[in-house]
Amino acid sequence: MIRWWLLLLCVPSILAAQDPRLARLDPETRQIVAALVDSAQRAGLPVEPLVQRALEGVAKGAPGTRITAAVRRLAQDLGSARLALGESASAPELEAGAAALRAGATTDVLRRLHGVRRPPLTMALAVMADLVTGGVPADSAAAAVLALAPTARDADLIEFRRAVERDIALGASPATAATVRVNAGARTASPGRP
């Protein structure tokens, strides 16, 4: 009986190491990526984002060194996100947390967000990362999301991001747009498109 349980515990690791999608990588890169995926699996991190990042690199014709560097960096960010968000964080939360960290948020910001908002935190983290990508300074984006997080719904956060993007497109400075919109409070929801 114990043998069966041990086999069941090993199956995910075996499957990850033998993920047939990784066959699209060259042998050397595949070996490194498979090792990174296996390591992440054993650490309890989600491996699908790592596989997808490797496949993105292949599709875009990136050299193996860039692919392995990107996968390794993402694995580290996922690990940092889990340290900040806790063991119970879901895979989408960790992935969004990794994106927020990559955008410039600190692990302390992630911890504070975890403290003020009920899960799932995916949308709050994603909006934080998207604001930074849109030009809002990382500390302003973090402050804005932390201010909205306790009460805003996911749809409110999406609308907030869109409102800030509109203001920036109309000529407002990114930091000012975020601050003004936080104070105004964006409450209108219109989800259903990127």
Partner 1 sequence: MFEDRDEALDRVVRHLRRPVAIDPTFDRRVMAAIETPRRRTIAPWLAIAAVVATVFIGRAWLTGAGTASAFRFELVAPQAASVSLVGDFNDWDPHRTPMTARGGRTAGTWTAVLPLAPGRYRYAFLVDGAEWRADPRAPAAQDDDFGTPSSVLTVERS
Near partner 1 by CB under 8 A: residue from 41, 57, 82, 159: 57
Here's the x/- map for partner 1, 15-44, by CB under 8 A: it reads as: ------x-----------------------
Rounded Cα–Cα distance for residues 133 and 49 (Å) = 20
**Cβ neighbours for 166, distance < 8 A, ≥ 6 positions apart:** none
Candidates 27-35, 84-92, 106-114, 178-186 — which segment interacts with partner 1 by CB under 8 A? 84-92
CA 1 to chain centroid: 39
Considering only residues 125 to 154 of the shown chain, the ones binding partner 1 according to CB under 8 A are 126-127, 129-130, 132-134, 154
Rounded Cα–Cα distance for residues 91 and 50 (Å) = 12
Considering the rule CB under 8 A, would residue 64 count as an interface residue with partner 1?
no
Check if the beta carbon of residue 126 is closer than 8 Å to that of residue 106: no
Q: Is 190 exposed, middle or buried (0-12, 13-18, 19+ CB in 10 A)?
A: exposed
Candidates 10-18, 46-54, 78-86, 174-182 — which segment interacts with partner 1 by CB under 8 A? 46-54
Considering the rule CB under 8 A, would residue 3 count as an interface residue with partner 1?
no
Rounded Cα–Cα distance for residues 87 and 159 (Å) = 30
Please give the residue ranges that form the binding site for partner 1 (CB under 8 A): 21, 49, 52-53, 55-60, 62, 66-67, 69-70, 73-74, 90-92, 95-96, 99, 102-103, 120, 122-123, 126-127, 129-130, 132-134, 154-155, 158, 161, 191-194
